[in-house]
Structure 1
Amino acid sequence: MPRFTHPELPLDALLRRAAVRDPDGTALTCGQKTLTYAELDARADRVAHYLQHATGRRGTTVGVANTLDAVFAATYYGTSRSGHTIALVNPLVGEGALHHVFTAAAIEIAFVPSATAELLTKMRERLPDLHTIVVTDADDGVVPADALPLHVALDGVPDGPAGLGTGPADLDAVVCLQFTTGTTGRPKGVRLTHRNLVANAAQIALAHRLTPASVTLNHLPLFHVMHLNSAVYAGASQVLCQDGDPIASLALAARTGATHYYGLPARLHRLAADPRLTTSREGIPAAPRLTAVMSGGTALAPAAARRLHEALGVPVIQGYGMAELSPLCHNQSIEDHSRKGAVGRPLPGTESRIVGLDSREAVDVWATGEVQVRGPQVMAGYLDDDEPARIDADGWFSTGDIGYEDADGVLYLVDRLGDVFKYDNELVSPTAVERVLADDPRVAECVVVGWPDAVHGAVVWAGIVLRETPGPPQHAAHAVLDVLDSITEKANSRLAHFERIRRVEALDAVPRTPTGKPRRQELRSRLRTRAAAEAAA
């Protein structure tokens, strides 16, 4: 296998390189608006000029909301080009999470949509570092009195290249702070370097087979730097789909000649369950250039992947990674996409191994343990110095995920280290139980966690969202219980004794993070309180 190499460039130079190579090539399409690479590069220059003028120094932390639009791409690369640090801001979170991100990162200037600007204005006295709020969608929303519309901020800045053009000499300097989703505790600030992000962009472009002829359709609630950086690295065109309707996203893929369709598992599950999506393909917009559907963020149920593959006629590819890995480390290939439950082989230039939970030594093929990864995409560490980086002296990063590798080096994930629990001395994987439940056509979605048990340590609790409410309204409650009992009995017949569902409840919806991950910690906390109350009664 040839040795993996990547350009020795700062992050923003990826965009400059693409603009030089193909200035008239389409970089972004969003609705009726299209930007060429030259136009996007010029917008990044304007943002960089503004930041250089607004701060008069390098090293300021700038909050950038990762909205699914061209503004994010320009402010993201423009912040890097100005010599400042990007702090990614999720515009879907509430005041508590915003306060944590802004104070932990000491954000001074923020590029955010109007709704987030309103929240920040209310919190201004509790954010001593924040001195400037720039509203990125001023044309669509109300601008708070002490905020600045983006067009006003950029009015009068000079044209032409900003800063050094080629960025800082130190490619190992931190350029981006990305906060984890906080599913296992308070969100952690991940410190990513120019080298981390450029290397991972190159790795992803190779793994996803992106070229200048590729058209990537992003059907995501937010813009992810993984898709932005890899497409810009390859000089590919990106289509941003802001319509939440899954069939509308397929129609857009057909109209734009998309070659790659990117979606979160939560949205892909809805697409797979959509009655308009049938294996006969009647009424499904034909996308003849489409080569793959790409899923990442959390596990996509094999049944959903199979339905999408049958309906669309293209491979459904699962990837694996996390913020600490810039973010991707493994990816299925088109050739091995049908391996059930697999997340693929390591990306080019990436090493992976499984270590025992107690021994911390590498284990044999097929043996289960914690996944460790080593490669140029491994973060520089966490923002909080008190937070262990989980990187050993040899560069191995402990992911906190449990899995195993087959004889071909393909990785299979079992669960998060913090999500698994023990029934007696047996390890229970919530994800494994959820996969069995998800095979039942009566189940729309489900979530599994451990219910505290004095005898066994913990037993399986399952929350199930039914696809249909059974029976007439006056008998619905009893009918729901009967269906839940039937689903549980069917699932338990396929589960080991320690995995069997002992408690089950109907849910209106599975609580999820903005990226679609189940909020297991929140559920566990609620169930512990209920279990304690039951024990005391």
Structure 2
Amino acid sequence: MSSFTYPDLPLDGLLRTAAVRDPDGTAVRRADASVGFAELDDLADRVAAYLERETGRCGARIGVANVLDPVFAATYYGAGRSGNTAVLINPLIKEDGLRHVLATADVEVAFVPTPTAELLVKLKGALPRLRTVVVTDALDGVVPADALALHSVLDPVATPRGGRTDPDSVACIQFTTGSTGRPRGVLLTHRNLVANARQTALAHRLSAESVTLNHLPLYHLMHLNSAVYAGACQVLCQDADPIASLALAAEVGATHYYGLPARLHRLAADERLGTALPGGSRLTAVLSGGSALRADAARTLRERLGAPVIQGYGMAECSPLTHCQQPESYRPGAVGTTVPGTECRLVEPRTREQVDVWSTGEVQVRGPQVMAGYLGEDRPARLDADGWFSTGDIGYLDEQGELHLTDRLVDVFKYDNEIVSPSRVERVIIDDPRVADCIVVDWPDPEHGALVWAGVVLRDPQPCGPYAPGAPAAPGAPGGLDVLDSITALANERLAHFERIRLVEALDEIPRTPTGKQERRGLRRQLKERAAERTGV
């Protein structure tokens, strides 16, 4: 671990270095425009100069919406260059979530697209620290009332005063998804982000010759920082159609294709996939992260695209990457070995004793990318004095050091004191070709503690409601009940008695966060309310 090194730079120094090294090289490209490294660096300078004037000090909190657009890169690096802290704003979140992020972080200036600006103008009474809303996509200067267009606040010739930035100061606050609780602000330092930029570039084998295609709903820090560190060209695909993204990958000569599992699952199931990518493709890797990619989808994409499909693992608290598969040692179901400079161990959740290879435990990681802490909290319990961060994920290590994840610690539950792994049950259900997607959570039960409840998305949807497997269907009942009963019966044959599905329901879709993760928390709350109604408790 001691041999790993990374640049002694502030975060925005990654962009400055790339601009000096290759000023005319394309940094970011989208359908209608491209931005070179020097041009992007100049725009970050102008943003920084504006923020110095607007805030009049260092350490202010600057909201930056991570839209899939070059403007995000300029405002994100510009916030740090001005001596202030960037607070990531997800433009897809709703009003309540938006209020929570800006109020908790005390955001003073926000760079956001028009729909988010309209919400913020409405929320200004509840956000007394927010004094300026800057619209990043204003067309012809038209902006909501009490907001400003980006081009109107940037001086075309201004340069920031700058100064030496402490690498251990907070560069960015990124809020967790809130899938297991109220979103928390993660404090990421310049050192965290610069280290992870190099770690990711090494793990993904990025270079100045690389062309990365981001088929994502939002810009992600990992993709931006690692590509800028390597001097790679980033191509932003804003078309949600997965086949259109492959056509763009072929057009630009993409070497790396980044996608979320939900989109990659759709791509793997698309009948047009076989002819979507020409034989002369430069694609060297399809990279997935954020949640688990099904093995069958990974296999299909690998066979059809002629490139390895690589799974990674990380979280906001780790800037985010900690593990990544390598093409030459691909193991289905694993998320890879640690990225350079990172350690990983597994501990028994109750005793906190380290467990052996192949033994299940909670994943802990340590490295220069691990956060400084949470906003507004003292040293978090999940980060110990030795720097080990407890991820809350359950898994095991194999003899090659590959990490295999099974569940979130908060998602496992007990039936008659036996631990049920929702992911294990889901893997069995999804093996049925009639199932397009599924989710498993606990249904409260006074006798057993909890029952296994499964929500199933059928490939051939048939309307039906919740019911207990094996219950006789009423006359004229929808045919979907028979399908669910059959799916459940086959799954239960492969499951231990405590894992067996006791309640099942057909769903139109699985509730997911904007990044594609299953949203169990809200679903669990709904089921708890329904269970209480049934029992009268």
Instruction: State the TM-score bracket (shorter-chain normalisation).
Output: over 0.9
Give, in whole Å, the separation in 2 of the partners of 1:419 and 1:140: 49
Give, in whole Å, the separation in 2 of the partners of 1:312 and 1:476: 46
Q: What is the Cα-based RMSD across aligned positions, in Å?
A: 1.8
Q: Does 1:445 align with 2:437?
A: yes
Give, in whole Å, the separation in 1 of the partners of 2:514 and 2:356: 37
Asked if 1 retains the 8 angstrom alpha-carbon contact of 2:112 and 2:133, the reply is yes
Q: 2:374 aligns with which of 376, 382, 407?
A: 382
Asked if 1 retains the 8 angstrom alpha-carbon contact of 2:246 and 2:276, the reply is no
Residues 33-182 of structure 1 aligned to structure 2 (within 5 Å): 33-139=33-139, 143-154=143-154, 156-159=155-158, 161-164=159-162, 168-182=164-178
Give, in whole Å, the separation in 1 of the partners of 2:140 and 2:510: 31
Q: 1:315 aligns with which of 308, 313, 324?
A: 308
Aligned to 2:409: 417
Distance 1:199 1:209, change over 3 A: same
User: 1:493 Cα deviation (Å)?
Assistant: 2.1
User: 1:322 Cα deviation (Å)?
Assistant: 0.4
SS in 2 for 1:261: strand
Give the AA of the match of 1:360.
R
Q: Does 1:468 align with 2:467?
A: no
User: 1:158 Cα deviation (Å)?
Assistant: 2.5
- TM-score (norm. length: structure 2): 0.95
- TM-score (norm. length: structure 1): 0.95
Give, in whole Å, the separation in 2 of the partners of 1:158 and 1:451: 62
SS in 2 for 1:133: strand
Q: 1:252 aligns with which of 219, 223, 248?
A: 248
SS in 1 for 2:198: helix
Aligned to 1:288: 281
Q: Greater shift after overlay, 2-11 or 239-248?
A: 2-11
Asked if 1 retains the 8 angstrom alpha-carbon contact of 2:247 and 2:276, the reply is no
Give the AA of the match of 1:365.
V
Distance 1:175 1:282, change over 3 A: closer
Q: 2:185 aligns with which of 189, 199, 205?
A: 189
Distance 1:185 1:283, change over 3 A: closer
Give the AA of the match of 1:294.
L
Q: Does 1:201 align with 2:197?
A: yes
Aligned to 2:327: 334
Asked if 2 retains the 8 angstrom alpha-carbon contact of 1:420 and 1:428, the reply is yes
Q: Does 1:433 align with 2:425?
A: yes
User: 1:458 Cα deviation (Å)?
Assistant: 1.2
User: 1:477 Cα deviation (Å)?
Assistant: 5.8
SS in 2 for 1:182: coil
Q: Does 1:520 align with 2:533?
A: no
Residues 408-431 of structure 1 show CA distances to partners (whole Å, capped at 9, x for unaligned) of 111000100001111222221112
Asked if 2 retains the 8 angstrom alpha-carbon contact of 1:254 and 1:286, the reply is no
Give, in whole Å, the separation in 1 of the partners of 2:449 and 2:462: 34
Q: 1:362 aligns with which of 351, 354, 360?
A: 354
Give, in whole Å, the separation in 1 of the partners of 2:372 and 2:85: 14
Give the AA of the match of 2:488.
T
Give, in whole Å, the separation in 1 of the partners of 2:401 and 2:356: 11
Q: Greater shift after overlay, 2-11 or 198-207?
A: 2-11
Give, in whole Å, the separation in 1 of the partners of 2:418 and 2:334: 23
Give, in whole Å, the separation in 1 of the partners of 2:186 and 2:279: 40
SS in 1 for 2:173: strand
Asked if 2 retains the 8 angstrom alpha-carbon contact of 1:250 and 1:287, the reply is no
Q: 1:306 aligns with which of 294, 299, 304?
A: 299
Q: 1:236 aligns with which of 229, 232, 238?
A: 232
Q: Greater shift after overlay, 450-459 or 183-192?
A: 450-459
User: 1:476 Cα deviation (Å)?
Assistant: 9.8
Residues 100-156 of structure 1 show CA distances to partners (whole Å, capped at 9, x for unaligned) of 1001100000000000000001111110000000000101895111000111111x3
Distance 1:287 1:41, change over 3 A: farther
Unaligned 5+ runs, structure 2: 465-474
SS in 1 for 2:528: helix
User: 1:73 Cα deviation (Å)?
Assistant: 0.5
Give, in whole Å, the separation in 2 of the partners of 1:432 and 1:520: 15
Give the AA of the match of 2:452.
V
Asked if 2 retains the 8 angstrom alpha-carbon contact of 1:257 and 1:287, the reply is no
Q: 2:212 aligns with which of 216, 221, 233?
A: 216
Asked if 1 retains the 8 angstrom alpha-carbon contact of 2:83 and 2:165, the reply is no
Asked if 2 retains the 8 angstrom alpha-carbon contact of 1:390 and 1:397, the reply is yes
Aligned to 2:468: none
Residues 499-521 of structure 1 show CA distances to partners (whole Å, capped at 9, x for unaligned) of 22111101111111111111101
Give, in whole Å, the separation in 1 of the partners of 2:501 and 2:280: 42
Asked if 1 retains the 8 angstrom alpha-carbon contact of 2:416 and 2:449, the reply is yes
Aligned to 2:14: 14
Distance 1:516 1:283, change over 3 A: closer
Give the AA of the match of 1:329.
T
Residues 246-293 of structure 1 show CA distances to partners (whole Å, capped at 9, x for unaligned) of 00000000000000000011111111111222xxx2344446110111
Unaligned 5+ runs, structure 1: none
Identical-residue share of aligned pairs (%):
67
Give the AA of the match of 2:187.
R
Give, in whole Å, the separation in 1 of the partners of 2:420 and 2:228: 41
Asked if 2 retains the 8 angstrom alpha-carbon contact of 1:276 and 1:284, the reply is no
User: 1:310 Cα deviation (Å)?
Assistant: 1.6
Q: Greater shift after overlay, 433-442 or 59-68?
A: 433-442
Q: Does 1:400 align with 2:408?
A: no
Q: Does 1:346 align with 2:346?
A: no
Give, in whole Å, the separation in 1 of the partners of 2:153 and 2:201: 34
Residues 290-333 of structure 1 show CA distances to partners (whole Å, capped at 9, x for unaligned) of 01110000111111111111211211111011000000101111
Aligned to 2:467: none
SS in 1 for 2:129: coil
Q: Greater shift after overlay, 284-293 or 446-455?
A: 284-293
User: 1:184 Cα deviation (Å)?
Assistant: 0.6
Give the AA of the match of 1:424.
D
Give, in whole Å, the separation in 2 of the partners of 1:177 and 1:130: 16
SS in 1 for 2:323: strand
Give, in whole Å, the separation in 2 of the partners of 1:444 and 1:476: 26
Residues 11-51 of structure 1 show CA distances to partners (whole Å, capped at 9, x for unaligned) of 00000000100111110111120111111111111111111
Aligned to 2:472: none
Aligned to 1:501: 501
Give the AA of the match of 1:180.
T
Give the AA of the match of 1:483.
V
